[in-house]
């Protein structure tokens, strides 16, 4: 194991895969000469050259389509969006082409491509740069959606995504790029897409949180532990396919569930999880499922409003005590 930043783990995954397979290439705005807007691709131009680490114009619709065309012709592109907010310029390419070509061609064509970049809120970036996009892309069959919470998962899941024959939406938190953790140095270190992680064992309440929300879930669990309450924390790691079985197994033990989700609440990831839980484990629930999400409004700019807008550990702590009828 080696201690790495989240961005270093992502880079290690891309470098190892590009060394293994020369059909893989990276492209996006500032990924080459500038070494990446967030330095995720630092040094990759020098190692692989300008034919495999490619700077693009500010033209998301164009380079997303170029990537899909390359994938259809036998290459394995990694397309970086400087932020997933900019992916909306290219959304037709993602949801109508990448997601559907395999189905519409009767399986004649596969689209092995990864679209990756920073997702979700990152401080005072205001309404157009703080969107959590997982609930948007997860609604389209044909796309896999991955949202890791730590450097080790980031490496293992990105390597699996690059080797996948279907298009993968890979969502990274901008806030976490500098966070450190132990990362496997195995060359074939793969974490399967679609398998959740039980991050903390407990029997009083199940807390579900992905990506940055996972850390809110862990903080909430620590607050509850001070009250003598042991919460179980589940990190889904993959939004679609969703490992609902691991979540259900936990709820059958704790009988209570709180979901922390940075999405806006309407038609969110937590909405879908709540439906699937009540559909398959209603008789095991001793209290209604509660969710802690971003507020149902565009993200504000003011620091105090942004702190109020985001899901907090205090809100999740209060929700956990409520589903346990402690208060």
| Enzyme catalytic residues | 60, 129
Exposure b/e, 60-90, CB count within 10 A at least 16 = b: beebbbbbbebbbeebbbbbbbbbbbbbbeb
Question: Which residues 6+ apart lie within 8 Å of 252 measured at CB?
Answer: 281, 284
Size (the chain), residues? 327
Rounded Cα–Cα distance for residues 217 and 260 (Å): 7
- What is the spatial distance between Cα 167 and Cα 101, in angstroms, rounded to a whole number? 10
Structure tokens at 320: 């956990």
- Alpha-carbon gap, residue 290 to 256, rounded angstroms: 9
Helix spans in 95-184 (H) = 101-104, 134-137, 151-163
Query: How many helices and strands in the chain, by DSSP H and E?
Result: 12, 14
Q: Which helix (H) or strand (E) holds 92?
A: helix 91-92
């Amino acid at each position: 194991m080696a201690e790495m930043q989240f961005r270093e783990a992502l880079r290690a995954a891309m470098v190892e895969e590009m060394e293994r397979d020369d059909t893989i290439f990276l492209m996006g705005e500032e990924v080459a000469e500038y070494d990446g807007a967030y330095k995720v691709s630092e040094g990759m131009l020098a190692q692989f050259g300008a034919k495999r680490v490619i700077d693009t114009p500010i033209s998301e619709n164009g380079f997303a389509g170029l990537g899909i065309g390359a994938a259809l012709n036998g290459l394995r592109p990694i397309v970086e969006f400087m932020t997933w907010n900019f992916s909306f310029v290219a959304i037709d390419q993602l949801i109508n082409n990448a997601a559907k070509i395999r189905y519409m061609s009767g399986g004649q064509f596969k689209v092995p491509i990864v679209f990756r970049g920073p997702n979700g809120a990152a401080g005072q970036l205001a309404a157009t740069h703080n969107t959590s996009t997982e609930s948007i892309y997860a609604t389209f069959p044909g796309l896999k959606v991955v949202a890791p919470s730590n450097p080790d998962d980031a490496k293992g899941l990105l390597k699996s995504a690059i080797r996948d024959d279907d298009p993968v939406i890979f969502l990274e938190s901008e806030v976490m790029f500098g966070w450190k953790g132990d990362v496997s140095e195995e060359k074939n270190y793969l974490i399967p897409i679609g398998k959740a992680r039980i991050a903390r064992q407990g029997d009083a309440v199940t807390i579900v949180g992905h990506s940055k929300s996972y850390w809110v879930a862990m903080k909430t669990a620590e607050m509850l532990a001070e009250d003598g309450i042991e919460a179980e924390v589940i990190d889904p790691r993959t939004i679609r396919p969703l490992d609902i079985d691991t979540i259900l197994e936990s709820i059958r033990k704790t009988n209570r569930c709180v979901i922390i989700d940075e999405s806006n609440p309407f038609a969110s990831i937590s909405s879908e999880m709540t439906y699937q839980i009540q559909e398959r484990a209603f008789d095991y629930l001793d209290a209604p499922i509660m969710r802690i999400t971003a507020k149902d409004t565009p993200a504000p700019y003011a620091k105090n409003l942004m702190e109020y807008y985001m899901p907090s550990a205090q809100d999740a702590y209060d929700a956990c005590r409520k589903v346990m009828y402690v208060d």
